[in-house]
Structure 1
């Protein structure tokens, strides 16, 4: 077993719930973002592989990290990101944080509380937004709004896939404290339809996730690069729509994902709103040129 490619799921950036380096992003940034995505996708596939032993998963994750740091033989899923970081003068910190999250996925199958889940999101989600902001040269003060948005995207995925994660990997991201508060147990995730206590817990978590989306509301307006601001506006629109769907549906029995056409419509509305915000910002600041 020589590289993370042995665990490849075949999933690509176009299969994600949210845009990854879409046409909205400036061309000079797309390949670096896709290199970061390729690295993250490979590590995620390793951690989620149903048949690899834990020690095999950890060895493959270590190989990705060694390639990134230049200490080991090149893994084809990490080498492009290593080159991008070197060319752009960027730190590998965010990628190493992601690796820590995937190492947790190998050994940790339950989360005791919402705070513990947020600690996980600080490793598994926040680094993605921080990398994209750093790549664009944005002020790191924007991390304050980016982190809750990334956490919200992560929790939305957890809520959408809660049954599959349990059945396939015996992994449950729904906090045990929230389940217990509503009288639910993890075994309820095996059913075809959520029992009322489980559904109440899921809707409770959707409400907390909606609060994260609200905390992230200033991010697009704080972003100096206008094309990145539009990408963020699209993602914010998608996150808001998805969390509202989860708040009123059963992820075990109902489709809580958006199809490609519906997602395009929601993202388009977000982009239009972002364009309006950029226009009003420009009118308030006459004489300022936009970043390319």
Structure 2
């Protein structure tokens, strides 16, 4: 059987729909990129079009064992294992993601929105929690908003790639209840253009996702690290723009991803707004009294 490294898709952190360690401090990038590399390798295993489910599970288990030191070293796991040890961080978040990829190896349909959110609790929320942990942010203060944003980002990615996921790996993340509510068919995802019923189903999930995104709106103002706040603001603004577009556009036949120029302009606007807001907040705070 091939190794996880041999099955890599070639996709890197600069190819993602949203920034990965774009604005954060240099000293935090190493652990985050090690986490990304590990997760990307595991994701490529789970999404491989020719591997059987049992083969995927064996490879995912070997990555898990390598990460926790319970099995032979793996070149995809070693950088993260060392980064976790250096920072005194838990492998919990990476292992939650492995559980999501184990689900992907066996499960291809979701019944309702709550089932999809349960999947997001493994496939998306741990990513934000890990980034916050690396920065030493307060979990009680930041995790709830982060969880909401990360789940929204995950569903947004599912919607953008719904046709490709169906035709390429026969996986559908739009819940069955939403198809039923709009008299849409799963098979419609394989067409070159969405039917009115499928467009209505996509718009429905996009509206729910926008509400989820709104739950995390305050996250950039909750974190202490200003560069992390800038990155979160960029991600939020990009997601907000895309999710509103998906309420009206057809991801099967229309472009719903940002161009490089559009990506940069939207992110810059969000980052600038955050910097100004944080600077104004600091300047307007009452001065601390000196010792008497």
TM-score by length of 2: 0.96
Q: 1:96 aligns to what? A: 95
Cα RMSD, aligned residues only: 1.0
* Structure 1 residues without counterparts, runs of 5 or longer: none
1:190 correspondence with 2:194: no
Alpha carbons of structure 1 residues 2 and 200: separation in structure 2 relative to 1, 3 Å = closer
Shift of 1:285: 2.7
Per-residue Cα deviation, 1:78-105 (whole angstroms, up to 9, x for no partner): 1100000000000110000000000000
The SS at the match of 2:75 is coil
Matched, 1:117 2:116: yes
Asked if 1:218 corresponds to 2:190, the answer is no
Deviation at 1:284, TM superposition (A): 3.3
1:210-289 correspondence to structure 2 within 5 Å: 210-286=210-286
| Whole-angstrom CA distance in 2 between matches of 1:7 and 1:173 | 23
- Rounded Cα–Cα distance in structure 2 between residues aligned with 1:209 and 1:199: 15
* Closer/same/farther in 2, CA of residues 79 and 253 from structure 1, 3 Å limit: same
1:152-171 aligned at under 5 Å gives the runs 152-171=152-171
Alignment partner, residue 199 of structure 1 = 199
Say whether 1:11 aligns with 2:6.
no
Deviation of 1:250 after TM superposition, in Å, equals 0.3
Q: Which moved more, 1:275-284 or 1:157-166?
A: 275-284
Query: Secondary structure at the residue paired with 1:150?
Result: helix
Cα distance in 1, alignment partners of residues 75 and 287 from structure 2: 46
Contact 1:221–1:277 (CA<8 Å) still a contact in 2?
no
User: For 1:46-125, what aligned pairs fall within 5 Å after superposition?
Assistant: 46-125=45-124
Map of 1:34 onto structure 2: 33
Question: Which TM-score applies when normalising by structure 1?
Answer: 0.96
Provide the rounded CA distance (Å) in 2 between the counterparts of 1:239 and 1:31: 25
Q: CA deviation at 1:227?
A: 0.8
- Secondary structure at the counterpart of residue 281 of structure 1: helix
1:131 and 2:109 correspond: no
Partners of 1:8 and 1:46 within 8 A in 2? yes
List alignment gaps of at least 5 residues for structure 2. Answer: none
